[in-house]
């Protein structure tokens, strides 16, 4: 069944029309291009660590057992990043750069949605910039080290892409993968902290392809709930299937982080998400 545009909240339509909406793109948006989810990425890291002989089979089996529970992902990521050591950067390039992934229909729909103020992504790949450069070959692409440039684009209302967890093409700037990495940029770097505060209090954010079970999303939601009161700031929206979220989680996300659940279907590789973006733009 096709996506029903009438399910888009009136407030979200109005915010988009007034250029007050941005999108946070998670790993799910890259699956269609052949790139891994969190769990698959960590399984590949285990295989790489074994291949480089930096862990024994017993350690690999322990990691694999831990991966059965998504709440252990950050724990496993921390161990594997440390295990891989100097091999980690090459692993990231081999996974996200070497396959030369191509933008999907979802990425192209995001490009068409020209009232978006900015796009944040937790992904390391270059799919978003490849897609947006068809519209503007000079589109600004920043990472978490470019706080001054991002602030300038925000203040001048210029569209940009923020690669919040690093760029596989720019390994020297670091890749945010572990809880320690994430907490370092989120809680210890005040300029970046202030930047995220501005984004999530000034704009309505739509979570696209970002499962609320992914550890980095949960950490981000925890931060959001700390930086503004539940009664203040805009309502944000998360596109997810009914199977991915419980009623209790829906209530808590809305009350604690002002994130409202919007249901989509898994059918046709989550084509609802692409149709949602196109429908939202039609209201602009």
Low-confidence ranges of the chain (pLDDT < 70): 1, 171-173, 212-213, 215-216, 223-232
The helix (H) or strand (E) run that includes residue 22 is strand 21-25
Could you tell me how many residues make up the chain?
A: 284
Closest by CA to 118, choosing from 191, 205, 193, 195, is 205
The Cα–Cα gap between 114 and 237 comes to: 19
| pLDDT reported for residue 4 | 85
Asked if 238 and 211 count as a contact pair (C-beta separation under 8 A), the reply is: no
Closest by CA to 101, choosing from 131, 126, 123, 119, is 126
The Cα–Cα gap between 218 and 215 comes to: 5
Asked if 120 and 162 count as a contact pair (C-beta separation under 8 A), the reply is: yes
Asked if 45 and 29 count as a contact pair (C-beta separation under 8 A), the reply is: no
The Cα–Cα gap between 192 and 145 comes to: 8
Q: In the chain, which segments carry CATH 3.40.50.1220?
A: 5-35+102-282
What angle do the packed helices 57-66 and 38-51 form, to 10 degrees?
180
204-208 and 236-240 as β-strands: parallel, antiparallel, unpaired? parallel
The Cα–Cα gap between 157 and 180 comes to: 32
Q: In the CATH scheme, what architecture does the domain 5-35+102-282 have?
A: 3-Layer(aba) Sandwich (3.40)
Asked if 60 and 50 count as a contact pair (C-beta separation under 8 A), the reply is: yes
What angle do the packed helices 215-227 and 73-84 form, to 10 degrees?
110
Q: What is the dihedral of CA 59, 40, 236, 273, to 10 degrees?
A: -170
Secondary structure class of 70 (helix, strand, coil): helix
Quote the Cα angle for 248-24-124, to 5°. 120
| pLDDT reported for residue 151 | 93
Asked if 21 and 206 count as a contact pair (C-beta separation under 8 A), the reply is: yes
Q: What's the whole-model pTM score?
A: 0.92
């Amino acid at each position: 069944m096709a996506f029903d545009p009438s399910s888009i909240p009136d407030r979200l339509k109005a915010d988009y029309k007034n250029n007050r909406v941005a999108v946070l793109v998670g790993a799910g948006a890259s699956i269609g291009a052949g790139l891994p989810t969190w769990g698959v990425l960590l399984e590949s890291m285990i295989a790489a660590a074994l291949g480089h002989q930096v862990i024994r089979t017993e350690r690999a089996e322990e990691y694999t057992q831990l991966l059965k529970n998504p709440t252990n992902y950050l724990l496993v990521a921390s161990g594997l990043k440390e295990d891989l050591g100097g091999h980690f950067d090459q692993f990231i390039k081999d996974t996200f750069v070497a396959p030369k992934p191509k933008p999907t229909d979802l990425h192209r729909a995001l490009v068409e949605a020209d009232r978006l103020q900015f796009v944040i992504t937790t992904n390391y790949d270059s799919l978003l910039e490849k897609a947006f450069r068809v519209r503007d070959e000079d589109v600004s692409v920043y990472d978490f080290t470019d706080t001054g440039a991002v602030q300038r684009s925000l203040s001048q209302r210029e569209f940009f892409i923020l690669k919040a967890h690093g760029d596989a093409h720019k390994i020297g700037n670091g890749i945010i993968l572990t809880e320690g990495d994430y907490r370092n940029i989120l809680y210890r770097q005040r300029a970046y902290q202030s930047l995220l505060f501005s984004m999530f209090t000034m704009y309505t954010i739509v979570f696209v392809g970002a499962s609320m079970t992914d550890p980095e999303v949960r950490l981000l939601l925890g931060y959001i709930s700390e930086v503004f009161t539940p009664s203040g700031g805009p309502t944000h929206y998360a596109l997810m299937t009914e199977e991915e979220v419980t009623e209790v989680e829906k209530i808590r996300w809305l009350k604690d982080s002002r994130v409202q659940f919007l249901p989509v279907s898994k059918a046709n590789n989550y084509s609802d998400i692409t149709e949602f973006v196109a429908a939202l733009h039609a209201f602009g």
